[in-house]
Chains A and B, each alone.
Chain A
Amino acid sequence: MATLVIEKLRKSFGPIEVLHGIDLSLQSGEMLVIVGASGCGKSTLLRLVAGLEEPTSGRIVLDGRDITTLDPSARDIAMVFQNYALYPHMSVFDNMAYGLRIRGLPKPEIQRRVHEAAALLGLEALLARKPRQLSGGQRQRVAMGRAIVREPKLFLFDEPLSNLDAKLRVSMRAEIRRLQRRLGVTSLYVTHDQVEAMTLGDRLLVLHLGLPVQLATPMEVFDRPANTYVAGFIGTPAMNLLDATLTAGGTAARLEGGMLLPFADGRREGADGRKLTVGIRPEHVRLEPGGVPLAIDLVEPLGSETVLLGRMPDETMLSVKVHGVWTGGERTEIAIPPASLHVFDAQSGLRLDPLR
């Protein structure tokens, strides 16, 4: 159990700055999921915490101890790598025991820890096997086991499930969550996967181009995205983002085609004609006879749901998610419920909250 504090952490590779100052604070036992597009610096952040890279500036404090310049082995941190990074010539047992042997733990203690972790992960029967004799999911478990036996203060996961097939990913996801809760080890978890991001973490950090754009609970990030980037990044299919302007009095947004969208939650600040971006999630768009006509270009059946890609009269694209199978043909009529509207400033992309 330990807290992790990251202060003003920056990292440059040569002249290129990759992380532009990250501030973070994790409570004891908390699991923070980091998401962001490829290349935004997620792995770099993790590697800085692990000590595999040196930060250009900033501080990392684990459990009250400044570990910024410590060697990786002295940090009391264990990491689970994307491709597992198991030692190919060692048995499962030795893979897990190796770090403990180096640390000079007594043999019985090593035995105890490895067998406990193996029991936890259902690996007892495989302890004598070599990694190449294991399936992908089993290797993943061994990689987890290797982290667990260390009994570290902090777990780092760098896309640990991305090499697994979809079904296995679902079960391993649940298992990681269960284990992390049970062991109560503070964790940083990097992922590309929307569902992992939403389900796994106590909090979610969205990184964009080396900057943190939002740090909140997954539901908060989903319900109140801090800017247009987060709005478009979290949720599938992505939120519809439409150009609009503020009406006089700040009580509604006017889409380019002239359609008026009143704000349900209050006035927004700004002069008449202020440029806005309004967001509406595809699943929140309602089918409403007599509403705005929508010409459907593409129908994507997902099984229990169907995504419709259509054009409004002013040629703006809009995607709509409906339940069940689509039988409605090539035209329909829709309405945008005011309560589900997200309002952003068009220039900065930042969320505009109502005035109080």
Chain B
Amino acid sequence: MRRSQNWLAHTVLILGALLFALPIWLAFCAATLDPAAIDRGELSLIPRLDHLGSFWDVLVHGGPGVPPVWRMLLVSFGMALAIAVGKIAISLLSAFAVVFFRFPLRRTAFWTIFVTLMLPVEVRIIPTYAVMGDLHMIDTFPGLAVPLIASATATLLFRQTFAAIPDELVEAARMDGAGPLRFLKDILIPVSAANLAALFVILFVYGWNQYLWPLVVATSPSLDTIVIGIVKMIGIDTSTEWNKVMATAVIALIPPVVVVLSMQRWFVRGLTEGEK
């Protein structure tokens, strides 16, 4: 009974894994084919190992109309990092204020933050663009990241985490003489470290995948993110060098995967472990 259940579970899991891995494998193989072959629709499941050079080629030289991939990776990495770190810093502080301090209009402040959940960048893109214009941040690196930093989701998450911290722990710290910032640094952040790491991973991937806002706000090629780069490489009128597009796409996967893997232990703990 148990054995057969395990067996079934494993089959489902393996099939699922294959299903998710297949497109990536296809992209990897396609990166090693002739550009013309893909145009003819000849996909192969066997990579041509003598053509692995296309990866190196895009990494160093880029493709038609885009800067070298290493540059775009750098821009994407910077943007994703700024968004993740910025979101965490801001929501950490706002959740800290909302949970641990009694100030006038506390509830109003909280609900205002909550309501912004309904206003993602896609909805407020025109006013946001106007504001960025007034701040002379169009086509600059801060312009890429700053509007994406405000985050109600992360604030709500931290609020939940903080609310689960026993009052007595807070009071013990007060009696030990820890002021608010000390409490934040010495107790709150270490105690919520697992949640913090999990959130960092999610937000990093979120930042990495941004498309619409970077497309709108940045025009100079030096600010092309990897996602924008891939789209740009798919020419509309010119013929597309699909092997380069695929190589870039595969390379673009690597940094988020590295982040997820390196934070995996923390990530899983943050998602599965309740407050003790």
Contact = CB atoms under 8 A, between A and B. Distances in A.
A73 B175 contact: yes
B52 interface: no
B176 A85 contact: no
B276 interface: yes
Interface string B158-188: 0000000010110111111110001000110
A77 B176 contact: no
A83 B166 contact: yes
B172 A88 contact: no
A81 B177 contact: no
B190 interface: yes
Interface residues of A, number: 23
A78 B191 contact: no
Interface string A68-80: 0001110001110
Contacts of B168: 81-83, 85
Contacts of A88: 191, 276
Interface in A112-144: 132
A167 interface: no
B172 A102 contact: no
B172 A89 contact: no
B190 A85 contact: no
B178 A89 contact: no
Contacts of B182: 102
A103 interface: yes
A99 B176 contact: yes
Contacts of A52: 171, 174-175
A89 B176 contact: no
A114 to B, nearest CB: 14
Interface in B34-73: none
B77 to A, nearest CB: 30
Contacts of A98: 176, 178, 186
A102 B176 contact: yes
Interface centre among B168, B176, B193 (most CB of A within 10 A): B176
A242 to B, nearest CB: 43
B276 A99 contact: no
Contact of A73 (B169, B174, B191): B174
Contacts of A89: 187, 190-191, 193
A48 interface: no
A99 B166 contact: no
A85 B169 CA distance: 5
B171 A132 contact: no
Nearest to A152: B175
Given A82-B168, A88-B191, A98-B186, A132 B175 contact: no
Nearest to B170: A85
Interface string A42-72: 0000000011100000000000000000011
A87 B169 contact: yes
A327 B186 CA distance: 64
A144 B276 CA distance: 21
Given A81-B171, A85-B168, A85-B172, A103 B177 contact: yes
B253 to A, nearest CB: 34
Given A73-B178, A78-B175, A132-B276, 9 more contacts: A52-B175, A72-B171, A72-B174, A85-B169, A86-B172, A87-B172, A88-B276, A89-B190, A98-B176
- 3 closest A-B pairs (Cβ-Cβ)? A73-B177, A99-B176, A85-B168
Interface of A: 50-52, 71-73, 77-79, 81-83, 85-89, 98-99, 102-103, 132, 146
